[in-house]
Amino acid sequence: MNILINGVGGPTPRSIARTLRQFTDYKNLKLFGTDINRLAYGLYESDLYDKTFIVPPAKHEDYWTTIEQIIKENNIELALVHPELEVLEWSRRHTETNDLPCKAFLPNHELCKVLIDKSRMTELLEQTDLVPKSYVFNSGIQDFTELETTLKYPFWVRATEGSSGLGSLKVNDRAELQNWININPKVDVFISSTFLPGRNLGVKLLYYKGKLIRSASAERVKYIMSKVAPSGITGNTSYGRLLNEQNLVDVADEAMQILFKKLGVEQHGFFTADFKEDENGKPYLTEVNVRMVAFNLAFAAGGANFTKDIVDLLMDDTSVTQEYKMYEFEPETIFLRDVDAIPLLMKESDLFPK
């Protein structure tokens, strides 16, 4: 089985490759990696990848020629596409032409565009009680009256696009907000929303040909290199809990069902829905990633191997059940992660004995 993994310089593709190497029993598995950055560490991880390639960015005129040549010359059967810009490009081609150089598990392109832009997703859900009250503004904002009428300080602010908590901060007054805008010159559009002090949660949702077939959930407690980010959030979890909360999955699925219906697209693809709870423990949807995230390997170590699910479905493995399953974990299961390290799973009571 020859599999292409895009964007191997990032932690999420590394997590996916390790999942395939350590938590599957595929015979004759070969992994091929691509990245646009010659300095990407993953390009040189010979223990993970059989061969790697430097490719043009997804919007480059030579992108598809390069990708197609790699796939053809290496007999690649399927691709696991995870950098957002490549997800957009692959989903665009698939939605518009239904023609890809190999198999891939992708949502509809219109849905991808909405989910990558957090303000558009929030707008589609704003009449529900699923998302926090929000306000979108440009970095050149001069009049703060409408923003400050909509939201009272303190509130949360972040970039409408991008990962790893780009542009995220809890701001306590206008001076802090103006300073934050000034020191993030690469962010053109921000979204501000009600500050939610509760748990930070992630829900995995795997939809296949019109229905939800797999799910799991976790809590992000602490982040790798949290001290380098003013918000303490870097987007890469260092300490988390694997949860068994069907109610949380139900809320995530409710939001996705609304988006599927409003956009008129098929329920298909893998998503990571992020929630933050208010002071009463009510979860609000803050974003939905159109891909896996970096602690995918921790889920696999706990028994929720979404990467294997996707590969088996793409390879038409008839032994894979398409009946709904919420992955459940041993009570009190936590995971610890660090930069480039294999995650460790243990019981929380062993780490913090009473």
User: What's the pLDDT band for 14 if we cut at 50, 70, 90?
Assistant: very high
Encode pLDDT of 23-50 as tens digits: 999 999 999 999 999 999 999 999 999 9
Q: Which of 95-99, 129-133, 222-226 has the lowest mean pLDDT?
A: 222-226
For a pLDDT cut of 70, what percent of the chain falls above it? 95
Q: Which residues, in sequence order, are bridge partners of residue 214?
A: 206, 325
**Over 60: is that where the pLDDT of 188 sits?**
yes
Q: Which of 97-111, 173-187, 333-347 has the lowest mean pLDDT?
A: 333-347
Q: What's residue 19's pLDDT?
A: 96
Which H, E and C letters describe 194-245, residue by residue? Answer: ECCCCCEEEEEEEEECCEEEEEEEEEEEEECCHHHCCCCCCCCEEEEEEECC
pTM of the model: 0.92
Q: What's residue 310's pLDDT?
A: 97
CB atoms within 10 A of CB 172: 12
Rounded CA separation 215/253 (Å)? 10
Encode pLDDT of 237-283 as tens digits: 899 999 999 999 999 999 999 999 999 999 999 999 999 999 999 99
Encode pLDDT of 87-118 as tens digits: 999 999 999 999 999 999 999 999 999 999 98
Q: What's residue 256's pLDDT?
A: 98
Q: How far apart are the first and last CA of the chain?
A: 48
Encode pLDDT of 277-290 as tens digits: 999 999 999 999 99
Q: What's residue 172's pLDDT?
A: 94
Rounded CA separation 62/224 (Å)? 36
| Count of alpha carbons within 13 angstroms of residue 109, beta-carbon side | 13
Q: Which of 62-66, 141-145, 261-265 has the lowest mean pLDDT?
A: 141-145
Element housing 261 (H / E):
helix 246-263
Rounded CA separation 220/308 (Å)? 23
CB neighbour list of residue 293: distance below 8 Å, 6 or more residues apart? 12, 202, 235, 272
What angle, rounded to 10 degrees, do the helices at 246-263 and 109-116 form? 120
Q: What's residue 224's pLDDT?
A: 75
Element housing 352 (H / E):
none
Q: Domains plus CATH for the chain? A: 2-104 (3.40.50.20), 133-194 (3.30.1490.20), 200-351 (3.30.470.20)
Average of per-residue pLDDT across 302-309: 97
**Over 80: is that where the pLDDT of 163 sits?**
no
Query: What is the average pLDDT value for the chain, to the nearest integer?
Result: 93
Rounded CA separation 69/82 (Å)? 20
Average of per-residue pLDDT across 292-301: 92
